[in-house]
Amino acid sequence: MQGSATPSLATVITGASSGIGEALARQMARDERQALVLVARSADKLEALASELRQAHGRQVEVIVLDLEQPGAAGRLLARVAALGLAVDTLVNNAGFGLNDSFADMAPDRIQGMMQLNMVALTELCHGVLPGMRARGFGRIMNVASVAGFQACPRFAVYGATKSYVLMFSEALAAEENGNGIRITAVCPGATDTAFHSVAGNHGTLAARLMDSPETVARSGLRALNRGRRVIVTGLLNKPLPLFVRLLPRAVVTWMAGVLVKREKQPA
Ligand SMILES: NC(=O)c1ccc[n+]([C@@H]2O[C@H](COP(=O)([O-])OP(=O)(O)OC[C@H]3O[C@@H](n4cnc5c(N)ncnc54)[C@H](OP(=O)(O)O)[C@@H]3O)[C@@H](O)[C@H]2O)c1
């Protein structure tokens, strides 16, 4: 497919090895027609999912094993997609992680990695795919933010701020690209039943007891993307959150966010 051949269109999903990204990959393999490119660090999980989706749906599914926390990873990812003879028609920036801890106690490399993955790689990937989407007059970008992005989050100070960035950045891009045929949606899940909570150390929190399934989040996110909605808060319980944040004093909202993620017991 290299050289002068017209590239086939592809959907690139970061963080496709588990949770919301895996659910998105399954739903897009079933309901859409483009080739899929699954990206994460866990080669074994990606290969198993890719072979299952190829068998079930007869679709081209490629795997790219990459650590998106590394500087320059976004450029390397897009070069590898191009080398496969694929053009990115849909980008799903889903890979991300959070840490439930006081900021002063966090390891510097985890802070750096979180900002690099949640913000920098996401931004660079958007920048890398938009020219091709503009040239084709069509494209879709889903950026997975969080309800944590609507207000300050004690114990998730950096994570919440990275998700505020994703939310604001995505809304601005959606406005800029309005009229270019490019849909950009920020998906804001509330607590979702994935590995996120074990990675974050989110044990025994109130938030972790009110979980949606990753399949529900993926379904709502895709529906919003296809309808051209700029922001979607998934999960019925989470829907009023942006309104509360606007109506209540900021200090009250910050306190409430802290209560939701306060660890009530240590892991066994
Ligand atoms: N679960 C929730 O409650 C919740 C709520 C709001 C928003 N979100 C957001 O939803 C998104 C998906 O998270 P999830 O809940 O599905 O959690 P998850 O199951 O832990 O999935 C995270 C995905 O990101 C990938 N990833 C992590 N670090 C990476 C790195 N350095 N390079 C490449 N890929 C990396 C992981 O794969 P590897 O480990 O194989 O690399 C995995 O596929 C995240 O952006 C998260 O912030 C989650």
Question: Is the CB of 162 inside a 6 Å radius of any atom of ligand 1?
Answer: no
CATH of the domain at 166: 3.40.50.720
pTM for the model stands at 0.95
Q: What residue numbers bound the domain in which 71 lies?
A: 8-260
Beta carbons of 122 and 164 less than 8 angstroms apart: no
Nearest-angstrom CA–CA distance, 48 and 144:
24
pLDDT at 233 over 50: yes
Count of domains in the chain? 1
3-state DSSP helix/strand/coil % of the chain, to nearest 5: 50, 15, 30
The reply to whether 211 falls in a domain is yes
- Supply the pLDDT for residue 266: 53
Residue pLDDT, tens place only, 123-145: 999 999 999 999 999 999 999 99
- Tokens read off for 93: 């920036």
The reply to whether 180 falls in a domain is yes
The reply to whether 23 falls in a domain is yes
pLDDT range class, residue 209, cuts 50, 70, 90:
confident
Question: Is the CB of 76 inside a 6 Å radius of any atom of ligand 1?
Answer: no
How many other CB atoms are there within 10 angstroms of residue 4's CB atom? 4
The reply to whether 265 falls in a domain is no
The reply to whether 267 falls in a domain is no
- Supply the pLDDT for residue 215: 97
Residue pLDDT, tens place only, 42-77: 999 999 999 999 999 999 999 999 999 999 999 999
Beta carbons of 218 and 235 less than 8 angstroms apart: no
Whether 165 sits among the annotated catalytic residues: the reply is: no
The reply to whether 268 falls in a domain is no
Could you identify the atom of ligand 1 that is nearest to the CA of residue 191?
Answer: 3
pLDDT at 203 over 90: no
The reply to whether 108 falls in a domain is yes
Nearest-angstrom CA–CA distance, 242 and 260:
16
The reply to whether 1 falls in a domain is no
Could you identify the atom of ligand 1 that is nearest to the CA of residue 208?
Answer: 3
- Comparing 15-19, 146-150, 203-207, the range with the smallest average pLDDT is 203-207
